[in-house]
Amino acid sequence: MSSPETFYDVFRQQGISRRSFNKFCALTAASLGLSPAFAPKIAHAMETRRRTPVIWLNGLECTCCSESFIRSGHPLVSDVVLSMLSLDYSHVLMAAAGHQAEAALEETRRDHAGEYILAVEGNPPLNEDGMFCIVGGRPFIDQLQEMAAGAKAIVAWGSCASNGCVQAARPNPTQATPIHKVIKGKPIIKVPGCPPIAEVMTGVLTYMLTFDRLPPLDRLGRPTMFYGQRIHDKCYRRPHFDAGQFAEAWDDENSRKGYCLYKMGCRGPTTYNACSTVRWNDGVSFPIQSGHGCIGCSEENFWDNGPFYDRLADVHTPLGVESNADKMGLGALGVIGAGIAAHAAASALQRARASATNPKSGSGE
Amino acid sequence: MAIQTPNGFSLDNTGQRIVVDPVTRIEGHLRIEVNIDESNIIRNAVSTGTMWRGLEVILKGRDPRDAWAFTQRICGVCTGTHALTSVRAVEDALGIQIPENANIIRNIMQLTLQVHDHLVHFYHLHALDWVDVVSALSADPRATSELAQSISSWPKSSPGYFRDLQTRLKKFVESGQLGLFRNGYWGHAAYKLPAEANLMAVAHYLEALDFQKEIKKIHTVFGGKNPHPNWLVGGVPCPINVSDTGAVGAINIERLNLVKNIIDQSRRFVEQVYLPDLMAIASFYKDWNYGGGLSSTNVLSYGDIPDYANDYSAGNLLLPRGAIINGNLNEVHEVDLRDSEEIQEFVSHSWYRYADEDIGLHPWDGVTEPNFDPGKNFKGTKTRIDSLDESAKYSWIKSPRWKGHAMEVGPLARYIIGYASNIPEFKEPTEKLLTDLGLPVNALFSTLGRTAARGLECAWAAEKLQYFYARLIDNIRAGDSATANIERWEPATWPKDVKGVGFTEAPRGALGHWVHIKDTRIENYQAVVPTTWNAGPRDAEGNIGAYEAALMNTPVDNAEQPLEILRTIHSFDPCLACSTHVMSPEGEELVNVTVR
């Protein structure tokens, strides 16, 4: 058997020169805060390391995470599965079925204990002894816990695995449960969203493979580089918010001018995600750009914070303290909504004052 | 101990039992059990949906304008089709008319889904049932190039292209880390393609994987993201502004050009890659004519793609509506989703409880109370299924019936109904395909027929995308840029107590949502979805479902590697999350399911 394909091989296949590869390793060392002396070590690791096995399990879900994943434009998902990692189990894509599929799972657990990444799409239901989700004749929760035990790290894909998502919305008839509540003692990286953005998904995986470490996480377990800011913070319609320019009804003059959708129920001000920066499907658009407010799909309990078209100030459903960890410690979304309403009014007011005192800084309308 | 079913199958469960669980390359969780006789022929088939999420229970009491977002999460593969069905159901209940542009954009979204879903199904979920990846390693790249160039003008077909791909594949296999291709049935006797055809198909598997992400950008333009784009009761959320200030934040000429570019590319890919591959692969499997099941007798379609807005009568639907029963192609029956005697769901073999399990319930009267009781002949424990008891309850899927008949739905059903209705755009391509392959009409009623109809429909949908794009441009040129009707947006304008029904033809078949709105909130919500029709279990009368029927009488070459089972089940494009999510009007009872 010839030597396995390594990261270096992948780079070379992509037409990257040895010189560029060395430069990449030096930059990687620098970005990791290591001295330049580490660059050759990184180069050596990338030249020799086997592709990391990834086991992708599906519980109660809708497969939107797998569908999103295959939309990745950079890297292309064909490169991801052929060259960057070894996707040893995936309900959606794998050739094998039945006991051959189960065997693939078992082989990875045995031969790569402590080495594989477990990626989880969906969540386990706890009611009916777990039999609301059966895989290979057994409750999904059993498969999940067995595979979690040998994993190096666990990725919780999407809002199902991270927060429970739609099947956990009131009254949660199956008691669908996010995975961090049933897996203990393993690092879990939450990548929420319904689904998460494709390039965020491949970005999280390739971060781990490239830098050989977990991405830095916020207090809720989400990678800070993608979930550190609100959609509102980087929204290209933010100037309209600040200027008090809002769409008032569907397809009205203001919608056609691309004004802020806050009054149409947009959850951008309370949603931590990369939609307004990375955008969707190779950067084509994101919900607000296409005229619909954010529904907050990466936030815990977003299904129960509706109706989606009520503006935030009207929302009264209280949120748990945990979900508010990054939201200035406010106890209830209603308070945040009121705060945002005040923020909108204050921004408009400041703008008006500024233009009154300094005609040159007028609103530009 | 053969049992004769009312729908014409002879079941015998005495032979060796084969279990496939999990069935992979599908959406969701499915288990198949069959019995084979001493000649390895399937004499009994059992299809079991192994998940339940209770989504419609969750919808109760919510704002009906939000229902599209919840129901869209029924399935992320056929993303959008449940949302469209939902906004239609709510609009039907509330009497909302949508603007012409909204109808056109919705059709573009739905057709985009058809093109994408069928393409991904063929290459990524189904192809490996016909294509041996390992055999591709021994192909001659030059001969592969000649083969490719003989069937298509697709430019990526040089010997060098196939050589590079083969080298990459070799390296991948030699690494010992087979990833997705691990433990496949490689070398199985049922694989019939020459090595060169295998190499060509693997190349297109990868090309299609890279290309499919482009198609769905149309959803992203109009709906902001994919999977799960945004929809709106009363129209579509994206405004049109092609000339004025702020157009950059709306559907403008740059966005329209992007959409056009993708539509044209998609049509090219389908015509130059998908269809030629389909024909080439089918030509090597012409003798494998199994898997017809119910398709030769009972098929159903609700119809879809309204040519003009707000008219859901059969004459305005570009995808045909109708039902064929007992194999009589001379009579296409009209279908009425509101008639309580037509569509009914049964639970006598499903893990639910009815007061009287001999009768079926129309979706507006639907009841769903889970009852996980695997029966007395079941083998296993409460949390370990070794073998199911099909004489008892055995699935989380209900059994829908049309006027008491088990029906097959999906692209093949649509093409049979279009053919029987003498609609040229369905009849002519079907006849051409059969002529090109040298096959009689009844060859359609098979696993391969299902796979071929999907390919024909993909090409049809790509062409219709161009048609609706031109219609959109015409409308905008004529000065119509309306995309939403907000007359009845506010709940204060709604009637107090109303029911509505919405339907589409999802990629996998007939899809209906039934909604009851009372005091501005959802009182009851019920979806009967394609995979419920196809994957459902037996009914009270003993009629077997479409999956079960299709598996019957198929020879299995190797019981340890039942490739033939995968082939036929995959030809339906199973979507289990869709099929298993029903609710009761007394949904709150479900909250009391005991936590054990």
What is the mean pLDDT, run by run of 10 residues, along chain B of 596 residues? Answer: 93 97 94 97 96 87 97 93 98 98 98 98 98 97 98 97 96 90 95 98 97 98 98 98 87 97 98 98 96 98 98 97 98 98 97 93 87 92 95 96 98 98 98 96 97 98 98 98 97 97 98 97 94 96 98 97 98 84 40 29
Distances (CA, A) of B391 to A23, B355, B387, B436, B596: 67, 19, 12, 44, 27
Q: What per-residue confidence (pLDDT) applies to B145?
A: 98
Q: What per-residue confidence (pLDDT) applies to A313?
A: 61
Give the minimum alpha-carbon distance from A237 to chain B in angstroms, rounded to a whole number: 9
* Contact at CB, A256 and B31, closer than 8 angstroms: no
Q: Is A176 in the same domain as A207?
A: yes
Q: Is A221 in the same domain as A264?
A: no
Residue B198 domain-assigned (yes or no): no
Residue A9 domain-assigned (yes or no): no
* Contact at CB, B228 and A63, closer than 8 angstroms: no
The mean pLDDT of A345-355, rounded to a whole number, is: 55
Q: Is A69 in the same domain as A173?
A: yes
Helix or strand or coil: residue B512?
Answer: strand
Distances (CA, A) of A335 to A260, A314, A318, A328, B397: 21, 10, 9, 11, 43
Q: Is B417 in the same domain as B294?
A: yes
8 A C-beta contact, residue B215 and residue B221: no
Find the DSSP H helices in B333-423.
411-420
- Residue the block writes with tokens 């119509």: B480
pLDDT, one tens digit per residue, over A6-16 is 666 666 666 66
* Contact at CB, B370 and A128, closer than 8 angstroms: yes
* Contact at CB, B168 and A88, closer than 8 angstroms: no
Which of A183, A201, A226 finishes a domain? A226
Task: Enter the ipTM.
Answer: 0.94
Q: What per-residue confidence (pLDDT) applies to A350?
A: 57
8 A C-beta contact, residue A108 and residue A166: no
Residue B494 domain-assigned (yes or no): yes
- Which residues of chain A are within 8 Å of residue B174 when distances are taken between CB atoms? 1-2, 4
Q: Is A248 in the same domain as A201?
A: no
Q: What's the predicted TM-score (pTM) here?
A: 0.90
Q: What per-residue confidence (pLDDT) applies to B577?
A: 76
Count of structural domains within chain B = 2
Q: Which of B171, B237, B587 lies closest to A5 in CB terms? A: B171
- Residue the block writes with tokens 């070794």: B386
Q: Which of B182, B224, B596 lies closest to A289 in CB terms? A: B224
Q: Is A354 in the same domain as A242?
A: yes
Distances (CA, A) of A94 to A67, A221, B124, B159, B487: 14, 29, 9, 28, 49
- Which residues of chain A are within 8 Å of residue B385 when distances are taken between CB atoms? 134, 137-138
Q: Is B356 in the same domain as B313?
A: yes
Which of A226, A249, A283 finishes a domain? A226
Expressed as residue numbers, the domain containing A173 is: 51-226
Quick one: tokens of A163?
Answer: 């927060």
A45 interface with B at CB cutoff 8 Å = no
A306 interface with B at CB cutoff 8 Å = yes
Q: Is B417 in the same domain as B306?
A: yes
Residue closest to B289 by CA, chosen among B426, B409, B450: B450
Which of A226, A244, A273 finishes a domain? A226
For residues A56 and A201, what is the distance between their CA atoms, to the nearest angstrom?
Answer: 13
**Surface of B (401-440) touching A: CB under 8 A:** none
8 A C-beta contact, residue B396 and residue B350: yes
Q: Is A181 in the same domain as A298?
A: no
- Which residues of chain B are within 8 Å of residue A273 when distances are taken between CB atoms? none
* Contact at CB, B216 and A71, closer than 8 angstroms: yes
Domain at B315, CATH number: 1.10.645.10
- Which residues of chain B are within 8 Å of residue A128 when distances are taken between CB atoms? 370, 372, 593, 596
Q: What per-residue confidence (pLDDT) applies to B486?
A: 97
pLDDT band (50, 70, 90) for residue A24: low
Residue B167 domain-assigned (yes or no): yes
Residue closest to A91 by CA, chosen among A53, A51, A135: A135
B579 interface with A at CB cutoff 8 Å = no
Residue B199 domain-assigned (yes or no): no
8 A C-beta contact, residue A337 and residue A328: no
**Surface of B (149-208) touching A: CB under 8 A:** 168, 171-172, 174-185, 206
Q: Which of B57, B79, B179 lies closest to A173 in CB terms? A: B57
For residues A43 and A21, what is the distance between their CA atoms, to the nearest angstrom?
Answer: 8
| Averaged pLDDT of chain A | 83
**Surface of A (3-32) touching B: CB under 8 A:** 4-5, 9, 13
Residue closest to A277 by CA, chosen among A203, A179, A171, A175: A203
Q: Is A260 in the same domain as A325?
A: yes
Q: Is A336 in the same domain as A190?
A: no
B321 interface with A at CB cutoff 8 Å = no
CB atoms within 10 A of CB B384: 14
Q: Is B454 in the same domain as B346?
A: yes
pLDDT band (50, 70, 90) for residue A361: very low
Q: Is B176 in the same domain as B234?
A: no
Q: Is A141 in the same domain as A289?
A: no
Residue A322 domain-assigned (yes or no): yes
Domain at A125, CATH number: 3.40.50.700
Q: Is B319 in the same domain as B361?
A: yes
Domain at A316, CATH number: 4.10.480.10
Give the minimum alpha-carbon distance from B547 to chain A in angstroms, rounded to a whole number: 17
Q: Is B378 in the same domain as B256?
A: yes
Residue A317 domain-assigned (yes or no): yes
Residue closest to A261 by CA, chosen among A314, A302, A311: A311
Q: Is B181 in the same domain as B316?
A: no
The region of weakest confidence among A137-146, A331-340, B324-333 is A331-340
A110 interface with B at CB cutoff 8 Å = no
Residue B299: burial class (beta carbons within 10 Å; 0-12, 13-18, 19+): buried
Q: What per-residue confidence (pLDDT) applies to B250?
A: 93
pLDDT band (50, 70, 90) for residue A359: very low
Quick one: tokens of A97?
Answer: 């079925």
- Which residues of chain A are within 8 Å of residue B212 when distances are taken between CB atoms? 70-71
For residues B272 and B291, what is the distance between their CA atoms, to the nearest angstrom?
Answer: 28
Residue B346 domain-assigned (yes or no): yes
For residues A308 and A316, what is the distance between their CA atoms, to the nearest angstrom?
Answer: 12
Residue B372 domain-assigned (yes or no): yes
Residue closest to B216 by CA, chosen among A93, A198, A297, A56: A198
Q: Is B262 in the same domain as B410?
A: yes
A119 interface with B at CB cutoff 8 Å = no
Count of structural domains within chain A = 2
Q: Is A69 in the same domain as A218?
A: yes
Single-letter residue type at B562: P
**Surface of B (53-112) touching A: CB under 8 A:** 53-55, 57-58, 62-63, 65-66, 69-70, 73-77, 79
* Contact at CB, A137 and B79, closer than 8 angstroms: no
A147 interface with B at CB cutoff 8 Å = no
Quick one: tokens of B20?
Answer: 């496939």
* Contact at CB, B50 and A134, closer than 8 angstroms: yes
Residue B319 domain-assigned (yes or no): yes
Residue A135 domain-assigned (yes or no): yes
Residue B297 domain-assigned (yes or no): yes
- What's the per-residue H, E or C state across chain A? CCCCCCHHHHHHHCCCCHHHHHHHHHHHHHHCCCCHHHHHHHHHHHHHCCCEEEEEEECECCCHHHHHHCCCCCCCHHHHHHHHEEEEEECCCCCCCHHHHHHHHHHHHHHCCCCCEEEEECECECHHHHCCEEECCEEHHHHHHHHHHCCCEEEEEHHHHHHCCHHHCCCCCCCECCHHHCCCCCCEEEECCCCCCHHHHHHHHHHHHHHCCCCCECCCCCEHHHHCCEHHHHCCCHHHHHCCCECCCCCCHHHHCCCECHHHCCCHHHCECCCCCCCECCCCECHHHHCCCCCCCCCCCHHHHCCCCCCHHHCCCECCCHHHCCCCCCCEHHHHHHHHHHHHHHHHHHHHHHHHHCHHHCCCC
Residue A196: burial class (beta carbons within 10 Å; 0-12, 13-18, 19+): buried
- Which residues of chain B are within 8 Å of residue A237 when distances are taken between CB atoms? 249
Q: Is B230 in the same domain as B356?
A: yes
A240 interface with B at CB cutoff 8 Å = no
Torsion of CA A229, B80, B526, B91, to 10 degrees: 100
Residue A94 domain-assigned (yes or no): yes
Q: Is B454 in the same domain as B546?
A: yes
Single-letter residue type at A347: S
Q: Is B353 in the same domain as B229?
A: yes
Q: Is A146 in the same domain as A170?
A: yes
Residue A28 domain-assigned (yes or no): no
Helix or strand or coil: residue B377?
Answer: coil
8 A C-beta contact, residue B575 and residue B27: yes
Give the minimum alpha-carbon distance from B7 to chain A in angstroms, rounded to a whole number: 29
Q: Is A138 in the same domain as A274?
A: no
Give the minimum alpha-carbon distance from B548 to chain A in angstroms, rounded to a whole number: 17
Expressed as residue numbers, the domain containing B220 is: 3-128+211-592
Strands of the B16-20 sheet, one edge to the other: B16-20, B30-36, B42-49
- Residue the block writes with tokens 């009579």: B331
